[in-house]
Copies of this chain bind each other. A is one copy, B any other.
C-alpha cells in the first residue's frame, strides 16, 4: 500500500495559507492542562495577531507564554484540506484594537497579542 501520509508544506506555503483565513484556534496551558479557544486573527508579516476577550482565562495564560496557534481548511466529507500550526511566544499589544480584529466574545476592552511564527508546520491532507 503506498504511503499517503499528509504532505508537509514549506514555510512559504504555510504563511500563504495562514493569510487566507480569519479564524483559528489558540492553544495554551491553563492550570497545567492544555486548553483551546477559537480566535479571530490576521497575519502580519510572519506574525499572527489575535484578539482575546477581556476576562478570558486565556489572557493571563497567553501573556508572555509559548503558545500554539492553528488554522485549517478541511472538508470532512471529501477528506481533503490543509492545516498550519505555529508555535511561538505571545506578546501583548497595547492600544485600542491594534490588530483591527472583530471579537468572538463581544468585549469592548479586549486584549490583543502578537505571536511570532518561530516554528511553523503545515500539512496537506489527502484522505480516503
Contacts and interface: CB of A to CB of B under 8 A. Distances in A.
- The copy count of this chain in the complex is 2
Given A33-B68, A34-B67, A6 B127 contact: no
Interface string A60-82: 00000011101010101001010
A5 B105 contact: yes
A19 interface: no
B108 A36 contact: no
Nearest to A32: B66
Interface of A: 1, 3-6, 22-23, 25, 27, 29, 33-38, 40, 53-56, 66-68, 70, 72, 74, 76, 79, 81, 83, 85, 87, 102-109, 119, 121, 125-128
